[in-house]
Structures are given as C-alpha cells and as structure tokens.
A and B are shown apart, each in its own frame.
Chain A
Amino acid sequence: MTLLAPVEKPAPPVEKRPVRRRVFGYPRRASVWTYAALLAVVAGSVFPLYWSLVVSSQTSEAVAQVPPVLVPGGHLFDNIARVFDSTDFGQALLNSLIVSGSVTVSVVFFSTLAGFAFAKLRFRGRKVLLVLAIATSMVPQQLGIIPLYLLMAKLGWTDHLAAVIVPGLVTAFGVFFMTQYLGRAVPDELLEAGRVDGCSTFGLYWHVVLPAARPAAAVLGLFTFMQAWNDFFWPLVVLQDNATVQVALSSLASGYTTDYTLTLTGTLLATLPILVIFMLLGRQIVGGIMQGAIKG
C-alpha cells in the first residue's frame, strides 16, 4: 500500500480557468453596454427572490396596496411564527433534510462505484451498458408514476419517506458525470501499481478512486441535494400526510383564501437552505454545469 499513499490529487476541473489569450484579444473586452445588459439580467434573476423577502416582511394589509410597497418591512419574524403555527413546517423541513441527505450520500456512492467500473475497468458489454445507462436519463420517469404508486401502496410505504428516498438512490446523470470525471482524473498507472501491490478492485475503489473523486463528488452531491430538496411531483403524490417542504408549501399556497404574506414567508424559508449552499459553493455549481452537466 505504500505505493498508493501519496495519491496524486488531480487538479479540480471546476476551478480551472480558461487560458486567456490576451495576445489576440479574445474573448473581447466587455463594453459598458455588456455590463449594463448583464446587470439587468441579474436584476431580473434576483428580483423575485427579493420580492418574496419584501412581501414576507410586511403585514397582509400592506401587501394589498397599489402602488405596492417595494422595501422590506419589520414583520418577518411574526410571519415566520405564523408559518410554523399554521402548518407543521418544522417536520416538513426535517423530512426534506432526511430525504435529500440520504439521497445525496447514496447517489454519490453508487455513481462513483459505477463510474469507476465504466471508466477504468475492462469487462464485456461495457460500451453497450454505458450507452444504456446514459440513455436512461432521457426516459420521462414522471410518466411511470401510477405503477410506482401502486408499488408503494403494496409495500406499505405511502406516507413514509422511504417512498421518496428509495427511487432516488441512483441517477443516470450521476453515473454519467462520474464516469466522465474518473476517466480523466485517475491515472491508469496508479491503478496498475495498486494491482501489483495486491489490491483488490474494491480496495482500489476505496483507496485510490474515492479520494481522487472528491472534487467531482462534491459537485454531484450539491446537484443531487438541491434536486432532491426541490422535488415536488412524486412527493406530492405519495406523501400526502407526511409532507416534504415543497409539498407543505404547495398546500400553504392552495387554501381557499390565499394569504400571500404567509405563503411567501414559507417560500423564503424553503429556499433559504438552498440559497445558503449556493452563496457558499456557487462557483463549484457553475463550474459543474459548464463541465458538461446535463440535468438528471
């Protein structure tokens, strides 16, 4: 194992900056108009989120005004308290955390395992199986929801978090993403050396591949977590009485009379965890998408 100890860390591709060729002046320098247009686009991106902060910090009376109030007020914490009073929002947050957390760990583990096999091991049918795995990401899974529901009813899993966790344990996107990354990041010589030292294939996975996969695993983990946190249709169907955040939010929004200060406060609370992750690791997320990420 001594040979394997100093595992060479591959340069994390998400951080890689493109070589700027200033000699020729490409890409071109941005003009004032380019900045102005981009700032307008970003303002349009941010505004709805800002607006949910504005509404959720006002009283209901202040929101029902023309012209509307455009700056945050001082009632945010009152409204948050009302959200927790009117639905079991704490339980919903906890449920979403459990679902997203376990799905993330599992997707990263299984994707790295399969990605290792596809990228670095030789076996019969490798190409065909890889194409098959990638093709599965095109399947409109949402349309298989009725048999899936029947299955969950049979297993007695309706209203149990398992009904949402188990179908999410693997994704085709994850396998594709890790296959691509490991193909580049793990040198074959390192694996050969490990084999000479008598390492089993799982030993190679554990001691060589997993450490080398860390940067990509982090990006995949981020994507998976956000996607699981935001998932709506399937949890809506199968978790009627044990809601995740998105389901709780949707029932908050579809009452007989809609209280917007209440629903937009819920929206803000449901978005906040994702927003914090994005603020901290946005650079990696942007990098992951630009590395050729396809939505899963």
Chain B
Amino acid sequence: MRAALSRLDAKGSPYLYIVPFFLLFGVFGLWPLLYTGYVSFNDWDLLDAGEHTWVGLANYRELLGDAYFWNALGNTLSIWVLSTVPQLLAALWIAHLLNHRLRARTSLRMGVLLPNITSIVAVTIVFTQMFGRDFGMINWLLGIVGAGPVDWQANTWSSHLAISLIVAWRWTGYNALIYLASMQAIPHDLYEAADLDGANQRQQFWRITVPQLRPTIMFTAVISTIGGLQIMAEPLLFAGTSTPTGGSDRQFQTAALFMYEQGFREFRFGYASAIAWTLCLVIAVFAVANFLLTRRIANDEK
C-alpha cells in the first residue's frame, strides 16, 4: 500500500506541480486571446455579455476600409522601426564598451540599466515635459544651436521621433546587458588569433564579435518586434490628455491605442477584437520575417 502510494506520488505529483501554471495561464492568458476571435465576429457593443449578435466578417471588412486603422498601423510600424533599429545598434555599442576591464564595473552596468526599471508612465511623463513646446529643455537646447522650437506633438515625424526616443531610452541598456552576457561567452582565442593576424579593433568587432552574437541579435530582434508593435502607453501619455486618439489628427495613434480607443472609449468590443486579432497576425508575420531575415544574414556571412 505504501509502495503504491509512493509510486502514485512519483508518477502523478509532477503534473500537480505544473498544473497551477497551465491552469492560470490558460484561463487568464490564452483563453482571452482565443475568445477575442469569437468576439471579433460579433456586433458586441454593450457591456452586458448577453447583448451581441453574430455578424461574421463584418468587423474585418469595416476594418480594412477604415482609414484610421491603416493610419494607426503605419504609425506603429514607423515608431517601431525608429525605436528598434537605433536602439539595438546603440545597445551593441554600449555592450562593447562594457566588455572591457573596467573599474566600478557593477555601478556602470547599473547605471546603464537604470532606465529599464522605471515605469513607462513615469518615463513618458518626464520626457513629455522635456519635449514641451514652450518651456521644454529639448527646445531650449535646440535654440542654443540655432534650430527653431519644434511643436513635438503637432507633427507626424516629430511625434514619432519623440516617442521612439522614449521607447529606446527605456530599452537600450537592457539589451546592452543581454549582448554583454553573450560577448563574454566568446572564446578569447578568436581575438588572439585576430591580433596575430594584425586585425584592428574595429575589424575584430565587425568580423568576430557581431557574427558571434547573431543568435542573441536574432532573439532581441524578435522580442523587440513582439513588444514594439504593441506600444500603447507611450503615445497615450505623450498626448498629455486622456483622449486616446494619439494627437488631434491621430498623427501618433498606434494600433494598440486604436484598439483601446474602440474598446474602452467607444465600447465597440467586437470591432476592437477584430483590431486585436489583426494586430496579432501582423506581429506574428513580422516576428517570423525578422527571425528569417536575421538568420539569413547570419548564414550569408559564414
């Protein structure tokens, strides 16, 4: 009897230990995402869960003809590219700097990571103040070098630039530490051999360090895609009002923010769900494309 119980314990209990994770994730993580699909096929305009009618693809048809949606999607991609590319390049450079024999090593690493531990809300509020049209620090600095004051929220390009800077500021140091960790795993004899061959530091960086980091670069590219295409808090708060339109002409409304507006200001749950699923598809396509692209570059170099 004891032996049987003990066997049961050994065979069965592992499932018991992982079940809380799968159960909770299933109910609060996966199910909502799947159910979003069902909601998106309905006209679901009221909070009451009983009040909805099946409309088939009507929400998607409306979405494809909605200029606001295409605008939001374009803004999302623009902000994503503007924030991700410089961010990953800067991270690579900072990681390279940190990959030296340094005094105060831990303090420097902490200093680089600091932006990442602050909240998006706090960061965006501080930057929005600094980007202020009349009394902002950035316009003051621009004034010193003779450039005119910019109304950062008013234009498409300037608002995208400002929001991208906010995003990049928060994530560059984090990515730098990820890169640094894999730089430290590169075998030293590669550099030694390059030294003997007379390769200078710049050549070594591009010919040894970067190729060795390819898997990590691929990883960060995919993660930044998944995160970057869901951006919503930065444009919401950058506007400085509680209106989720991303500026008076929707010049910096992202797709996720458009979803929020349709769902929780217009209370069009069906339509907002169609936005969510479409964005999900876009994210999947871009993540896979990014993965293949970075892998291909890696193979070409070999």
Assembled-state Cα–Cα distance A250/B243 (Å): 12
Q: Which of A4-12, A40-48, A80-88, A211-219 contacts B (4 or more CB under 8 A)?
A: A40-48
Q: Which residues of B contact A27 (CB under 8 A)?
A: 99-101, 184
Q: Which residue in chain B gives the minimum CB-CB distance to A29? A: B101
A274 near B121 with CB under 8 A, answer no
Let me know if B256 is at the binding interface, CB within 8 A: yes
Let me know if B280 is at the binding interface, CB within 8 A: yes
Name the prevailing secondary structure of the A interface residues.
helix
Q: Which of A29, A110, A121, A144 contacts B36 (CB 8 A)?
A: A144
Interface size on B, residues (CB 8 A): 100
A270 to B: closest C-beta gap in Å: 6
Question: Is the interface on chain A under 10, 10 to 19, 20 to 34, or 35 or more residues?
Answer: 35 or more
Q: Which residue in chain A gives the minimum CB-CB distance to B100? A: A30
Assembled-state Cα–Cα distance A118/B101 (Å): 38
A142 to B: closest C-beta gap in Å: 5
Assembled-state Cα–Cα distance A49/B169 (Å): 12
Assembled-state Cα–Cα distance A66/B132 (Å): 12
B106 to A: closest C-beta gap in Å: 5
B276 near A146 with CB under 8 A, answer yes
Q: Which residues of A contact B30 (CB under 8 A)?
A: 136, 139, 144
Most buried by A among B101, B178, B223: B101
Let me know if B213 is at the binding interface, CB within 8 A: no
Let me know if B181 is at the binding interface, CB within 8 A: yes
Q: Which of A170, A232, A294 contacts B121 (CB 8 A)?
A: A232
Q: Which residues of A contact B14 (CB under 8 A)?
A: 117, 121-123, 126, 201
Most buried by B among A38, A110, A283: A38
A289 near B178 with CB under 8 A, answer yes
Q: Which residue in chain B gives the minimum CB-CB distance to A202? A: B13
Let me know if B161 is at the binding interface, CB within 8 A: no
B32 near A146 with CB under 8 A, answer yes
Q: Which of B56-64, B69-77, B233-241 contacts A (4 or more CB under 8 A)?
A: B233-241
A208 to B: closest C-beta gap in Å: 14
A-B contact pairs, 18 of them (CB 8 A): A26-B191, A26-B192, A27-B101, A42-B111, A42-B114, A45-B111, A64-B134, A66-B135, A68-B140, A110-B24, A114-B18, A122-B14, A139-B29, A146-B263, A249-B119, A254-B242, A278-B110, A282-B106
